[in-house]
């Protein structure tokens, strides 16, 4: 999916993933998977998702982020003055 009206001529705009029965029907527009993956790769994006909610229920949470952001968040964190 992409956000309807967010793109310009020749650009599909913001990418999204929608699930049947959720709120995207009014604001999102269907696009072909090939077009979706082409923009996903071109923009160097990553998909952040949650399999289970805190209570153990199945989650549909997902967020499309830059790969550089995803790679940065995977680095080990150290306390100030500490060593890893």
Q: What is the predicted pLDDT for the residue at 22?
A: 66
- Give me the residue label for tokens 């680095």: 75
Q: What is the predicted pLDDT for the residue at 17?
A: 77
pTM (2 decimals)? 0.63
Q: What percent of the chain is helix, strand and coil (3-state, nearest 5)? A: 25, 20, 55
pLDDT tens for the chain, 84 residues long, are 555 555 556 666 678 777 676 666 667 788 888 988 998 899 898 988 899 998 999 888 888 889 988 777 665 544 444 444
Where exactly are the structural domains of the chain?
A: 2-68
- Give me the residue label for tokens 């650009």: 11
Distance from chain centroid for Cα 13: 13
Q: What is the predicted pLDDT for the residue at 24?
A: 61
């Amino acid at each position: 999916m992409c956000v309807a009206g967010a793109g310009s001529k020749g650009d599909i705009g913001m990418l999204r993933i929608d699930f049947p029965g959720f709120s995207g029907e009014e604001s999102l527009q269907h696009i072909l998977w090939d077009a979706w993956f082409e923009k996903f790769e071109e923009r160097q994006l990553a998909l952040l998702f949650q399999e289970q909610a805190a209570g153990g229920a199945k989650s549909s949470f997902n967020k499309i982020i830059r790969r550089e952001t995803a790679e940065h968040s995977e680095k080990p964190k150290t306390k100030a003055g500490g060593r890893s």
